[in-house]
C-alpha cells in the first residue's frame, strides 16, 4: 500500500508549486497510473514521495515513510530517467555493483538480465544501449532488491508498441504477486488499457481518482480524425447536416487542417465530404481524451458548445491486440481504494478537517542510505571500468621513462630515480595518479550516481567513506610498489646490475613512499567528496606541494623553532605499560616522515579535509534526524 498525503512542493520564486496538496492511494495487487500532461507535476510528485525534493506532506510505503525504511532497495524499486551509471560500465557490471549496495547476491544480476530480455547483452556497455535496452536495464535496476512497491516515471516513454506491451505485462505480473505498482504516463489510452486505477492530476493538483473502467467511460470517447485543406468548410457542413438530422455530433477544429468529430463514423464523414467536393487527406477512427483541452468548438444536437478535445497522435484503436503474445492475460479488475467509483475532488485546497492540514511535516532531501557491503561495492566500482587500468598503465609508462632519464644523468639520488620524481615536478607521477584514482572514487559517484537510482545524492555515511579510504589506499600502495619494482627492473635491464642497490634506510624510504601515495589518494578522495567534483580532488592533490608545502616550510624554519627529536623518549615516560625500545625507532621514522615539508603539508591537508567532510556529513545527518523526529506515525 502506497499512501501519499498532502504532497506540496516548495515553490520557486515567482512560480506556483509544481505539486499542490496531492493525496491519493495505490493499493497492493493493483497497477495505478498517475496520469497528466507534460508539466502537470507527475515527476515532481514522485520525487516528493521518495523524499528527493523539499516540500510538505508525507508518503507511507506499507505504513513507513521512506526515511524510516532500513533497506529502501528491498521495499521500493525506483525508475526516474535513464540508467544512472558510468557509460563505460557493462550492463551486468552495473547490476552487480548495485546488487552489492543492496545486499543481494551477484547471481541476481543474471536472473534480472534474463527477466528483462537482456541475457545476451550482459557485456554491452551502458553508453551503447539503445533506448529500449536502456529502459529494460533501468527496470532491472528497480527490481534488483525484489521490492514490494515499484515507482516508475513514464517507463514506456519512447518504446515501441510491442515493447510497451511487454513492459505492462511485467508490471501486471508484479502486481499479481501482491506488489504495488505506481507509474506515470501522459497517454490516457495507455492508462485505461494497462492500469487498474487512474489518478489524474493537472497543475500538480488532483483532478480525479477513478477505477480504470470508470475512467474509460468518462474520459475516452470514439471519434473520427479528419485531415483536409478545407477544414472550416467541412466542419460547417458536418454541423449543418447534424442539426438537420437532429443527431448529436461534436466537431473540434484543431491545428494543421485537422478535425476531430465525435458521434459520427468514417463512412458518414467520407460521404459528406464527397457530396460537397471536399478533398480528404486522412480519415481514421480514434479514441479521444475528453479531459484534455485544445482550441476548437463543436455543436451538439441543439447547437450548444461541445467539450473540447485534442487529437491523439496515435491512430487506430486503443484496445490491445489479443493475438499479440506480448500482451499479458488481464485479471478481472477489482474495485477499491480511495475514490472508488470514479469520484472526483475539486481543485481547491483541502482543509485540516479533511485530514490534510498545516500540521503535515516538511519534506527535506534525505541522504540515501549507504550500501550493506560497502567494501564489495567499492571494489566493483573501481574495477568495473577501464579507467583504473588506463591510469595505472599511464603512470607506469611515465614513471619508467622518467627513471631511465634520471638514472642516465647520474645526478639524482637512487630513491628519486626509483620514484621517478625529478625536482621539476611538484609530485611524482605515482602520487598524482593515486590522487586521481581517489578523486574519481567520489567524483564518478556524483557524475554518474549509481547508488542514487532515483533516491537522492551519493550516500555520505561513514561505512562508505571507510570503504573508499581502504580501497583507495590499497590501490595507491599497489601503484607505488609497482612503480618501484618496474623502474628497478627496467634500470637493471638498461644499465646493468650496478645501478640499483638496497639503501640502508630502505624501511623509512618505503614507508615514506607509500605514505605519500596513500595520502595523495585520500586527499583527492576527501576533496572530491566535499566539493562533489573530480576536478576539486585533483586540485587538492596539486595544492599540497604548490601552496601548503611553502607555508609549512616557513613554519618549520621560523626563527626560534625547536626540533622534536626528544618526542619518542617523552612519550615513553608518559606511556603505561612501557612499549619495547624497538618501537622508538618506528616512532622516529613516523615523525621524520611527518616532519618532512611534503609530509607535514599532506598531513595538514588531510586533517582539514577530514574535518570538512565530517562537518558536511554530520550537518546533513543532524538535519535529517530532526526531520525524522518531527514526522508523524502512520494513520489508521
Question: What is the CATH classification number for the domain harbouring 150?
Answer: 3.40.50.300
Among the candidates 363, 384, 417, a domain finishes at 363
Residues 143 and 45 in one domain: yes
Residues 418 and 354 in one domain: no
* Residue 253 placed within a domain: no
What pLDDT is recorded for position 219? 82
pLDDT by residue (tens digit) across 100-150?
Answer: 888 888 899 999 999 999 998 999 999 998 888 988 999 999 998 899 999
**pLDDT at residue 545 greater than cutoff 80:** yes
Give the residue-averaged pLDDT of 358-381.
Answer: 66
Helix pair angle (91-102, 374-383), 10° resolution: 160
Among the candidates 363, 385, 420, a domain finishes at 363
Residues 491 and 528 in one domain: yes
- 65-70 — which CB contacts under 8 Å span 24+ positions? 65/631, 66/366, 66/455, 67/366, 67/624, 67/627, 67/628, 67/631, 68/628, 68/631, 70/369
Unique residue bearing C-alpha cell 545486499: 103
d(CA 65, CA 46): 13
* Residue 479 placed within a domain: yes
Which residues are CB-neighbours of 534 under 8 A, at least 6 positions away?
436, 439, 440, 442, 443, 444, 447, 528
Q: Give strand pairing partners of 253.
A: 259
* Residue 425 placed within a domain: yes
What pLDDT is recorded for position 208? 93
C-alpha cell at 89: 560500465
Query: Which of 186-195, 348-357, 386-395 shows the lowest mean pLDDT across its residues?
Result: 348-357
Compute CA distances 157 → 134, 207, 329, whole Å. Answer: 11, 23, 22
pLDDT by residue (tens digit) across 202-247?
Answer: 999 999 999 998 898 888 878 889 999 999 999 999 999 999 998 8
d(CA 615, CA 460): 11
Among the candidates 341, 363, 385, a domain finishes at 363
Residues 358 and 391 in one domain: no
Compute CA distances 513 → 81, 479, 537, whole Å. Answer: 45, 11, 20
What pLDDT is recorded for position 452? 60
- Largest Cα span, the chain: 114
Instruction: Give CA 519 to chain center in angstroms.
Output: 30
Q: pLDDT category, 363, cuts 50, 70, 90?
A: low
Unique residue bearing C-alpha cell 468514417: 266
What pLDDT is recorded for position 617? 67
* Residue 279 placed within a domain: no
What pLDDT is recorded for position 344? 39
Query: Does residue 299 or residue 285 have the better pLDDT?
Result: 285
What pLDDT is recorded for position 229? 92
Of 278-292, 383-397, 532-546, give the range with the top mean pLDDT. 383-397
pLDDT by residue (tens digit) across 318-330?
Answer: 333 333 333 333 3
* Residues 499 and 408: beta-carbon distance below 8 Å: no
> Of 408, 407, 398, 405, which is closest to residue 429 (Cα–Cα)?
398
* Residue 141 placed within a domain: yes
Unique residue bearing C-alpha cell 521512506: 66
What pLDDT is recorded for position 563? 56
Residues 143 and 164 in one domain: yes
Residues 515 and 411 in one domain: yes
Give the residue-averaged pLDDT of 164-191.
Answer: 93
Residues 163 and 16 in one domain: yes
* Residue 572 placed within a domain: no
Q: Give strand pairing partners of 35.
A: 185, 200
3-state DSSP of 102-135: HCCCCHHHHHHHHHCCCHHHCCCEHHHCCHHHHH
pLDDT by residue (tens digit) across 38-88?
Answer: 999 999 999 999 888 889 999 999 999 988 887 788 899 999 877 768 899
Compute CA distances 375 → 191, 197, 372, 427, whole Å. Answer: 43, 43, 9, 29
Domain count, the chain: 2
d(CA 360, CA 7): 9
pTM of the model: 0.71
Residues 606 and 527 in one domain: yes
What pLDDT is recorded for position 629? 40
d(CA 396, CA 621): 41
What pLDDT is recorded for position 620? 53
* Residue 450 placed within a domain: yes
When the pLDDT of each residue in the chain is averaged and rounded to a whole number, the result is 79
**pLDDT at residue 172 greater than cutoff 90:** yes
Whether omega before 577 lies within 30 degrees of 0, making that bond cis, reads: yes
Which residues are CB-neighbours of 329 under 8 A, at least 6 positions away?
none
Q: Is 458 helix (H, G, I), strand (E, B) or coil?
A: coil
pLDDT by residue (tens digit) across 571-609?
Answer: 445 544 555 555 555 555 555 555 556 666 677 788 888
Residues 29 and 112 in one domain: yes
Residues 129 and 89 in one domain: yes
Domain that holds residue 611: 374-561+596-626
* Residue 146 placed within a domain: yes
Residues 338 and 458 in one domain: no
> Of 46, 45, 40, 47, which is closest to residue 291 (Cα–Cα)?
40
Residues 385 and 534 in one domain: yes
Instruction: Give CA 77 to chain center in angstroms.
Output: 12
Which sign does the torsion angle of CA 202, 206, 212, 215 carry? negative
Give the residue-averaged pLDDT of 555-573.
Answer: 55
Amino acid at each position: 500500500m502506497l499512501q501519499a498525503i498532502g504532497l506540496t512542493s516548495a515553490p520557486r520564486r515567482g512560480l506556483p508549486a509544481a505539486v499542490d496538496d496531492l493525496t491519493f492511494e495505490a493499493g497492493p495487487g493493483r497497477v495505478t497510473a498517475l496520469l497528466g500532461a507534460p508539466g502537470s507535476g507527475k515527476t515532481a510528485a514522485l520525487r516528493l514521495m521518495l523524499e528527493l525534493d523539499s516540500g510538505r506532506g508525507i508518503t507511507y510505503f506499507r505504513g513507513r515513510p521512506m526515511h524510516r525504511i532500513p533497506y529502501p532497495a528491498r521495499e521500493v524499486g525506483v525508475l526516474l530517467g535513464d540508467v544512472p551509471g558510468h557509460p563505460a560500465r557493462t550492463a551486468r557490471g552495473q547490476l552487480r555493483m548495485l546488487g552489492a549496495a543492496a545486499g543481494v547476491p551477484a547471481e541476481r544480476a543474471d536472473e534480472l538480465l534474463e527477466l528483462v530480455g537482456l541475457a545476451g547483452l550482459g557485456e554491452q556497455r551502458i553508453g551503447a544501449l539503445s533506448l529500449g535496452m536502456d529502459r529494460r536495464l533501468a527496470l532491472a535496476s528497480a527490481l534488483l532488491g525484489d521490492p514490494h512497491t515499484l515507482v516508475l516515471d513514464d517507463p514506456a516513454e519512447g518504446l515501441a508498441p510491442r515493447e510497451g506491451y511487454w513492459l505492462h505485462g511485467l508490471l501486471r505480473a508484479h502486481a499479481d504477486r501482491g506488489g504495488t505498482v505506481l507509474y506515470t504516463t501522459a497517454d490516457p489510452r495507455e492508462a485505461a488499457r494497462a492500469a487498474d486505477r487512474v489518478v489524474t492530476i493537472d497543475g500538480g493538483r488532483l483532478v480525479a481518482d477513478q477505477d480504470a473502467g470508470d475512467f474509460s467511460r468518462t474520459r475516452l470517447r470514439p471519434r473520427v480524425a479528419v485531415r483536409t485543406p478545407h477544414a472550416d468548410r467541412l466542419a460547417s457542413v458536418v454541423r449543418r447536416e447534424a442539426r438537420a438530422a437532429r443527431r448529436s455530433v461534436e466537431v473540434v477544429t484543431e491545428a494543421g487542417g485537422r478535425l476531430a468529430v465525435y458521434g459520427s463514423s468514417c463512412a458518414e464523414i467520407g460521404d459528406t465530404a464527397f457530396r460537397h467536393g471536399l478533398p480528404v487527406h486522412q480519415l481514421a477512427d480514434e479514441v479521444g481524451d475528453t479531459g484534455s483541452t485544445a482550441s476548437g468548438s463543436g455543436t451538439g444536437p441543439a447547437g450548444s458548445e461541445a467539450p473540447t478535445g485534442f487529437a491523439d497522435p496515435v491512430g487506430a484503436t486503443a484496445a490491445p491486440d489479443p493475438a499479440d503474445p506480448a500482451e499479458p492475460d488481464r485479471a478481472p479488475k477489482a474495485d477499491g481504494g480511495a475514490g472508488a467509483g470514479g469520484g472526483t475532488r475539486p481543485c481547491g485546497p483541502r482543509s485540516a478537517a479533511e485530514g490534510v492540514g498545516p500540521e503535515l511535516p516538511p519534506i527535506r532531501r534525505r541522504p540515501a542510505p549507504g550500501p550493506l557491503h560497502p567494501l564489495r561495492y567499492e571494489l566493483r566500482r573501481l574495477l568495473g571500468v577501464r579507467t583504473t587500468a588506463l591510469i595505472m598503465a599511464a603512470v607506469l609508462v611515465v614513471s619508467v621513462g622518467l627513471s631511465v632519464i634520471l638514472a642516465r644523468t647520474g645526478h639524482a639520488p637512487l630513491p628519486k630515480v626509483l620514484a621517478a620524481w625529478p625536482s621539476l615536478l611538484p609530485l611524482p607521477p605515482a602520487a598524482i595518479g593515486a590522487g586521481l584514482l581517489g578523486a574519481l572514487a567520489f567524483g564518478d559517484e556524483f557524475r554518474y550516481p549509481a547508488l542514487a537510482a532515483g533516491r537522492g545524492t551519493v550516500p555520505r555515511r561513514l561505512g562508505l567513506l571507510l570503504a573508499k579510504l581502504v580501497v583507495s589506499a590499497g590501490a595507491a600502495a599497489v601503484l607505488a610498489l609497482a612503480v618501484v619494482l618496474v623502474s628497478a627492473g627496467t634500470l637493471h635491464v638498461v644499465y646493468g646490475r650496478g645501478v640499483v642497490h638496497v639503501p640502508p634506510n630502505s624501511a623509512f624510504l618505503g614507508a615514506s613512499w607509500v605514505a605519500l601515495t596513500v595520502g595523495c589518494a585520500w586527499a583527492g578522495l576527501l576533496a572530491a567528496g566535499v566539493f562533489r567534483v573530480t576536478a576539486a580532488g585533483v586540485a587538492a592533490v596539486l595544492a599540497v606541494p604548490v601552496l601548503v608545502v611553502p607555508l609549512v616550510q616557513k613554519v618549520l624554519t621560523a626563527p626560534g623553532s625547536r626540533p622534536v627529536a626528544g618526542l619518542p623518549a617523552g612519550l615513553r615516560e608518559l606511556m603505561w605499560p612501557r612499549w619495547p625500545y624497538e618501537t622508538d625507532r618506528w616512532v622516529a621514522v613516523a615523525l621524520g616522515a611527518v616532519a618532512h615539508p611534503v609530509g607535514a603539508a599532506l598531513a595538514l591537508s588531510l586533517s582539514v579535509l577530514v574535518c570538512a567532510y565530517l562537518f558536511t556529513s554530520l550537518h546533513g545527518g543532524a538535519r535529517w534526524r530532526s526531520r525524522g523526529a518531527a514526522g508523524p506515525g502512520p494513520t489508521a
